A and B are shown apart, each in its own frame.
Chain A
Amino acid sequence: MLSMGLETVRGRWSGFAGAFVTLCLGVALISMTALVHVSASPHVPDRYAGAGVLVRTPVVEQVEGFFLEDRPWSPETVAELTGRLRAIPGVAAAVPDRSFYAQAVAAGRPVPADLRGYGWASTALAPYEPVAGRAPQRPGEVVLDRDLGLSPGSPVTLLTAAGPAPYTVTGTLDAPGFHVTDAEAARLSGGVRVIGLVTEAGADLAQIERAAREIVGGRGEVLSGDARSALEPRSDERIRWIGTQVLTGMTVLAGFASIFVVASTFAFGVVQRRREFGLLRLVGATPRQVRRMVYGEALAVGSVAAVAGVALGTALAPVLGDLLVEAGFEPPGFSVRIEAWPLAASFAAGLVVALLAVWSASRRAGRARPLEALREASVERRTMTPSRWIAGAAFTATGIACAVATAGAEPGAAVNLTLYAAMALIVGLTLLAPAIIPPVVRVVTWPLSRTRGATGVLVREGMLAAVRRTAATTAPVLVTVGFATLVTGMTQTTAAAVATDRTTAVRADAVVLPDGTPGLSDAAVAAADGIALLPTTVYAEGLPPLEASGITSETLTRAADRLRVVEGALETAEKGDDRPAETAGADEGGEHGTTDEDGEHEAVGEGGEHEATGESGKREAAGGGGVIVARWLADERGWRPGTRLPLTFEDGRSETLPVTAVVADAPTPILLSRDTVRSHDPSALTPEILVDGAVRDEVIGVRDEVIGGRVLDPGAYARQARTEDDRLVWIFTLILAGMAVGYTGLSIANTMVMSTVDRASDFRVLRMSGATPRQVLGTVTAESVIVAGLGAALGVVVALPALLGMGSAMTRQIGAPVELVIPWPIVLAVVGGCLVLAVTAAAIPTLAAVRRTR
């Protein structure tokens, strides 16, 4: 029976073309995605390629989607480990790797190419060849990338987190980054997370690794060989993760669209071929055999399409890889490797999609009765089966439930729920279409039955008699318009919500944003003289890394009402500003007045020794102050005002600080004094500065002094201030929407052509009964227009509940009413496109059929 399927496919290839194209594209997409996915594994960073063995700090499991750096070693641990690792026989040097933000400034503008600075010693870990000049020996000397076009001896301005500073180029390397003396690197950077071992020629790596493991113990991880790829920068890892999200989304959508389109193509084909199946039953085929034959057809089409798709995917995967790098979804230097197993898996996925899609069609085919071979086929008796009713109702209910749930969901989950809602509603309405469509058609075409001409009656009765056909042609329009409305509406509403959020958030007269830099330096903050948060990462025992922000007391005062204090008093820095950080065991909890005896946590004894070590240079601990904690974190950990928190910072040092307040609406889980953050994280950058009216003109006057920043008024800020993440999400959405619409457009054309070809004999009868070709064409066009309009209306109906749900979720989140934005021009354009497509796809085969009858 399977081979029988093969023959039918051969005999009526045109009927399967739609399914073939859809599947082929779907498999191409899946195989591209799979190849990209497999190729997207991390590799050993070039900077460490010359070190056989590396030691890094222990990794703490983080929440999905977070890529914060791991806790660094304390300076003491670094000193101790370095000393002991260096003593291992065969090890020439143990190099603590320090990196910090650095960027060259040329003609007053930051050069965007290289963004990191390192200590000179770390070049021993890389296989870099010096190109010219010598190593840096004094502070103020730098060896940099020769691509910058500077030669040894020339001056250069380097922008670091502190601000611009003059340097002298002493040499160039054929490698990215700025290399300064180790002492200077220690001053500019935070803590150490990697120590690289430079081995002597001929040393036994395995033995060194063993020895290193013994020394490090639980304080770190020893990596060698390919395992060193675990050292790829967290930022690359994050980009890769976003890329995976995009690819997963694309694959899921491609799968859904493929199944939907292929299923409707096959279902429609089965309806059209009832007589053929009846004949087979007449000749002696059991229902099972008929089902298997339909499966055989799907398998035949599926395997040819899957092979074509895999070939197409293999050819296009490198292109997709480049596009992803360009769009920022994969780190630079990413390239696609062609491997066999992802291709085999994609092929299998194609077959599975085909078989899943044909499942319900095959059941219907199996139900064909022998006598149906002897009847005229166009009038169907039973259009809604009980199982169709049940499934349709279930999907619709699920969709509505998802839409309702969206209203109460977190914004992140809301996006997913919205998509689920739309998908479920689409499937549900498509299943129920044969029940919904006749009454709607009856109402819509009522004026037609009053007209004098034949066309009106023909259109109306034709559509009503062939409910299944009308439903089948409506479905792809429904999906297209539904998806387009939903996806564009979703992004526009989100964008509007973000703008609203920003406008309400920014009570400043101007905002300074980074321009060509990853963030703003302290010099920029000082020049703008505004309010700025300084983000960093802190580490508490037993918790994953936590995002924290440094905040000045002035900012705190201004933001007091937005933070919504739950408990305690807003203060971070006032009391501790000029005082050395408290050492372990010191108990100043009483000072804060709100101390609750039960809530007082015991400080961990280790932190807070602050003799400046030789390695980290002269850095007085200017920390201290209190900690403001977000409510969810305080609730989770049982922290209250007065609780004394032992925290480790970016430089590996620890301090025990008292909680001063718990707030409901913190920008990060932890707020600290800005000075505390700066003293522990010399490389931290400010993402934005809010500037007050009083100083605004002045700022705009000094605009040129704010190196690496630009000044915007709040309106412009709200409108355009898309963060990098927003930009990625936007691109992502466009890709998804484009893909979905492309797919379903294909399906519109396909079902239209199929249904029209099927009616060639009707047209012939019409012509013979005296209809002019124009009248026939008019009938078909009118039908297509009604079908497209119906589908469009249902599509909007599908999208609206989901969007409304999302809108109210955002309203709750932001606290200000979010207006539902539906980009009607886009939606109307899509509807128009569907209309043109539907009419064209119906008119061309009609013309051909009408010609043939002449």
Chain B
Amino acid sequence: MTTSPSTAPRAAAAEPVQLWSVRKVYGSAAGEVTALDDMTVSFQAGTFTAVMGPSGSGKSTLLHCAAGLDRPTDGKVIIDGTDLGPLDETALTLLRRKRIGFVFQSFNLVSALTAEQNVALPLRLAGIRPRGTEVRAALAEVGLAGRAGHRPGELSGGEQQRVAIARALITGPAVLFADEPTGALDSRTSRDVLRLLRSLTDHRRQTVIMVTHDPVAAAHADRVLLLADGRVVDEFATADLPVRDAGPGGREGDGGSGPVRRELGAEAIAARMAVLEASC
């Protein structure tokens, strides 16, 4: 539905992230690598999208370009109605600061700052004096009310990741990008983090775009994008997966049947991935 080429950009409110014919070529002495090949894709507001694909297929590159961290070689990226092309480094930074949140696999926190200070950082960078209650509320929302004064070194991987999510959300961004946010976590902690992301979409209509290798993680999303060789090769809504039959209302992530449904969904996604990898 969203990969279909279209002639005019759609409304920013409905699709806060749009990529138009984006190409990204990495040049190096060893030769050129086309990481994204004429990719046109957009993401709808209030949805949770998982991006999957084999290693080297361009997932991270897509995310970097979509988030304005890297500039595409060709094509246009529109975030929240703003074309990133003409923006200079500072303007781009200001846009990122206000409209975009990120969570990565690791290296997410400033090690010299406490959890609370890390969360407040984007506000302070924007010149806003952070209110203690606001920051504490954000930490409480990710279940870390008691750890505000700890430095990253004193937190577990999952806790660090949740601090990173709290920080990404503190400015109320239009989109939250996550690149393998559970890649370094065990399955239990992963599940906590994924539930957290799911609930953001469910309760706050937060747009989330997540790169992952894990079909279980992808099963938490509304939509899955499969990439290979810098192109979108497949795309489907998790609701449309065969396991949908398992029970109506399975969309509600917190529902009692959620985990079961997701396990079945994950199997279906893994099957699609296997098909894709076999065809490559």
Contacts and interface: CB of A to CB of B under 8 A. Distances in A.
Contact of A7 (B97, B98, B117, B167): B117
A373 B125 contact: no
Nearest to A366: B89
Most interface-central of B94, B97, B122, B179 (chain A CB within 10 A): B97
Contact of B90 (A8, A288, A374): A288
Contacts of B94: 284, 286
A283 interface: yes
Contact of A12 (B69, B112, B121, B126): B112
Given A4-B124, A276-B110, A282 B102 contact: yes
A279 interface: yes
Interface in A263-297: 275-276, 279-289
Contacts, number: 70
Contact of B104 (A281, A285, A374): A374
B121 A283 contact: yes
Interface residues of B, number: 29
A318 B56 CA distance: 69
Contacts of B102: 282-283
A284 B97 contact: yes
Contact of A373 (B107, B113, B124): B107
Nearest to A367: B89
Given A275-B107, A283-B125, A283-B167, A371 B93 contact: no
Interface in B122-176: 122, 124-126, 151, 167, 171
B153 to A, nearest CB: 10
A10 interface: yes
Given A373-B107, A374-B104, A374-B107, A285 B125 contact: yes
Interface residues of A, number: 24
A287 B110 CA distance: 17
Contacts of A11: 111-113, 151
Contacts of B213: none
Contacts of B121: 4, 280, 283-284
A544 to B, nearest CB: 61
A281 B107 contact: no
Interface in B73-110: 89-90, 93-94, 96-98, 102, 104, 107-110
A10 B125 contact: no
A370 interface: yes
B254 interface: no
Given A282-B102, A288-B90, A373-B107, A7 B122 contact: no
Contact of B69 (A8, A276, A370): A370
A283 to B, nearest CB: 5
A279 B108 contact: yes
Given A4-B124, A371-B70, A284 B110 contact: no
Contacts of A281: 93
Contacts of B97: 283-284
Given A283-B167, A288-B90, A374-B104, A276 B111 contact: yes
B112 A10 contact: yes
B243 to A, nearest CB: 34
B96 A7 contact: no
A280 B167 CA distance: 12
Contacts of A12: 111-112
A765 to B, nearest CB: 16
A293 B85 CA distance: 28
B244 interface: no
B64 interface: yes
Contacts of B171: 284
Nearest to B113: A7
Nearest to B151: A11
B64 A284 contact: no
B117 to A, nearest CB: 7
A287 B69 contact: no
Nearest to B91: A286
Interface in A1-57: 1, 4, 7-8, 10-12
Nearest to A281: B93
A287 B151 contact: no
28 contacts: A1-B125, A4-B121, A7-B113, A7-B117, A8-B110, A8-B113, A11-B112, A11-B151, A276-B111, A279-B109, A280-B125, A283-B97, A283-B121, A283-B122, A283-B125, A284-B125, A284-B126, A284-B171, A285-B93, A286-B90, A286-B93, A286-B94, A287-B89, A287-B90, A288-B90, A289-B125, A371-B64, A373-B107
The 10 closest A-B pairs by CB, nearest first: A11-B112, A284-B97, A8-B112, A286-B93, A284-B125, A286-B90, A284-B122, A285-B125, A370-B69, A12-B112
Given A279-B110, A281-B93, A284-B93, 15 more contacts: A10-B112, A11-B111, A11-B112, A280-B110, A280-B125, A284-B94, A284-B96, A284-B126, A286-B90, A286-B94, A286-B125, A288-B90, A371-B64, A371-B70, A374-B107
Interface of A: 1, 4, 7-8, 10-12, 275-276, 279-289, 370-371, 373-374
